[in-house]
Amino acid sequence: MNVLKLRYMKKVVFLTFCACVAALLLSGCTKGIDNLFSSDGVEIYLLKAYKTVENSQKIDQKSVVLKSTPIVRYADILSYNSDEHTYKVSDRALDAIKNIDHSVFGVAFAVTANGRVVYTGYFWPMFSSASCNWVTIDPIIAEYAKELKVTLGYPGDWEGVEDRRNDERIISILSRDKKLIK
């Protein structure tokens, strides 16, 4: 009887231990909604899903669903010029953008700060004859200039486009890590 009782106790202790370890691992891996993606830094994600507002290209930020990994990671951002609204980025980031299947109607993206969407826009190639009344980055020019220039529309700047390019969350992070050029 003592042998059976001892085996039973060992089994209970082992299973309790396994349950505690599993609970610790799972609780350590959960992320809140605000930190669903990156937890620190400025990154650019392509969008998996989104809706536009009325008859425009303006992206309804509440409808945005990001792809699971950023196309431009924080480590890929070498510097940001807040006057010119240009990101110097790594060759890895430029290659990733170059390899997007670009549409004449743009490929939607979001710029995030600490895992939260700050603003949205489109990779809008210069070979497009369509205009865009929302934030754009020309991926063709980026490849040759080796930087991402964020503009308020295509072609040229448009009236009424929300300008969040120098949002305090972005500037604060880049300044902290000495990636900000004023």
- Could you list the pLDDT tens digit for every one of the 182 residues in the chain? 565 555 656 665 555 555 555 554 444 433 333 334 445 799 999 999 999 998 889 999 999 999 999 999 999 999 999 999 999 999 999 999 999 988 888 999 999 999 999 999 999 998 888 888 899 999 999 988 999 999 998 887 777 788 999 999 999 999 999 999 97
Residue 44 neighbours by CB distance under 10 Å = 26
Q: Are 137 and 152 in contact (CB under 8 A)?
A: no
Element spanning 174, H or E: helix 168-176
Are the C-beta atoms of residues 44 and 115 closer than 8 Å to each other?
no
Indicate the pTM of the whole model.
Answer: 0.76
Query: Which pair of tokens denotes residue 151?
Result: 């503009």
Cβ atoms within 10 Å, residue 113: 22
Strand intervals (E) in the chain: 42-49, 65-66, 77-81, 86-89, 107-113, 116-123, 136-137, 147-151, 180-181
